Structure 1
Amino acid sequence: MAVTAEGDFLAGFLADDPDQPVVMMNLLRFAEGGRAYYQQYSKAFAETVAPRYGVEVVYAGDGGDPLIAQAGQQWDAVLLVRYPSRHAFSQMVADPAYRRITHLRTKALSEAVLQPTRPWGHRRT
């Protein structure tokens, strides 16, 4: 299962309004014992990487029982994270400080969805 952004994802992501703010929806499924690793990752991220790139966690919460979903679509946690731009996100994931903490995120998760969003009414340039 996917837990990190790799390959062609970043190229396509950057091609879509690279200088506009973006809110990423994170759906997380923790590996056994993974919540503790994710808490370590979150703390390190908030203290070192987020301020450098202007990243803001808009919402973070535990997933509940879904009202409408297929089997297996329940998530352990949901986060909405605002980045000042797609370009800033791309720079962040290449930053050595970020790369030093990603092992915690990888170890924490068994599956994840990281989906960029766009405000309704926003047209691509």
Structure 2
Amino acid sequence: MAIDPRGADLKRYLQEDPGGPVVMLNLLRFAEGGRELYAQYADALSTTFLPRYGGEVLYAGSGSTPLVAESGQDWDAVLLVRYPSREAFSHMVADPEYQQVTGLRTRALTEAVLQATTAW
């Protein structure tokens, strides 16, 4: 299952940039013990990297009973994170200091969706 964006994914993400801010939808499924690892990652993200790159968490919450979903489409957590641009997000994930903590996220998850969204 996909967890982390790959180089080709990031290249396409930047090529399709319509300009302006981007809100990243994060759908997360935790491994056993993953919530604690993800909490460590989220702490580093919110105290260091989001301020550094102009990002902000708009919403973070636990998943609940899905009302409309196919089997297996329920998620443990949902996050919405706003970045001033796709480029800002790309610079963050390329930051060597960020790369030292992103392993926490990788180990915390068994599956994830990371989708860029733009306002209507």
TM bucket (normalised to shorter chain) is: over 0.9
Distance 1:30 1:46 in 2: 19
Aligned residue number for residue 52 of structure 1: 52
CA contact (8 A) 1:18 1:85 kept: no
| Structure 1 unaligned residues grouped into runs of 5+ | 121-125
Aligned residue number for residue 75 of structure 1: 75
The 3-state SS of whatever aligns with 1:3 is: coil
Distance 1:103 1:11 in 2: 21
Aligned residue number for residue 93 of structure 1: 93
The 3-state SS of whatever aligns with 2:13 is: helix
* Alignment size in residue pairs: 120
Aligned residue number for residue 12 of structure 1: 12
Distance 1:86 1:115 in 2: 11
CA contact (8 A) 1:48 1:97 kept: no
Q: Percent identity?
A: 62
Q: TM-score, normalised by structure 2?
A: 0.96
Aligned residue number for residue 123 of structure 1: none
Q: Deviations over 1:9-42 (max 9, x none)?
A: 1111101226411001000000000000000000
Q: Which amino acid aligns with 2:62?
A: D
Distance 2:6 2:18 in 1: 17
| Structure 2 unaligned residues grouped into runs of 5+ | none
Residue 8 of structure 1 deviates from its aligned partner by: 1.4
Distance 2:92 2:59 in 1: 20
Greater percentage in helix: 2
CA RMSD after TM alignment: 1.0
Distance 1:49 1:19 in 2: 21
The 3-state SS of whatever aligns with 1:100 is: helix
Distance 1:50 1:97 in 2: 13
1:26 aligns with 2:26: yes
Q: Deviations over 1:73-109 (max 9, x none)?
A: 0000000000010001111100011101001000100
